[in-house]
Amino acid sequence: MQQDCIFCKIAKKEVPVQPVYEDEQIIAFPDINPAAPVHVLVIPKKHIANLLEITPEDRALAGHIMTVIPQVAARLGVAEDGFRVVINTKDNGGQTVHHLHCHILGGRFMTWPPG
Ligand code: 5GP
Ligand code: ZN
């Protein structure tokens, strides 16, 4: 738990969300400012600041997140038409919350490359 980390507070239930998926290691919940009809964040409950902070000890956790994402996408009804997964990393990546999170975006066609 990192003091003043909003996603740690969500993971600890200090800030309420409506989870779309949860287990001991992960919670997924709707983005407060959705950029698509479906916009969910999948986070590890453990505080990891960003992708660069993942260590070999996090290998199983990282793999678990990758297996949960398609399950969440299916649950949200975007698996059939497709969706986008984004991990913004540090300033140039557009990261604003410094707790690792995967965006799942769907429900509309996504253009490429992003701005
Ligand atoms: P980033 O820009 O760091 O990749 O994405 C952070 C995301 O977290 C943004 O899409 C933002 O809308 C979302 N967000 C920030 N604070 C909160 C919050 O308190 N609750 C929820 N549900 N989403 C948040
Ligand atoms: Zn955190």
What would the pLDDT profile of 42-56 be if each residue is shown by its tens digit? 999 999 999 999 999
Q: What is the pTM of this model?
A: 0.98
Distance 94 CA to ligand 1 centre (A): 11
CA–CA gap between residue 93 and residue 46 (Å, rounded): 21
- For the record, the structure tokens of 96 come out as 């604003």
Nearby residues of 1 by Cβ (< 8 Å), 6 or more positions away? 8, 11, 12, 47
Per-residue pLDDT reduced to its tens digit, 62-74 = 999 999 999 999 9
Q: Is the CB of 97 under 6 A from ligand 1?
A: yes
Q: Which domains does the chain have, with CATH numbers?
A: 6-106 (3.30.428.10)
Residues facing 111 on adjacent strands: none
Residue 44 CA, ligand 2 centroid: distance in Å? 9
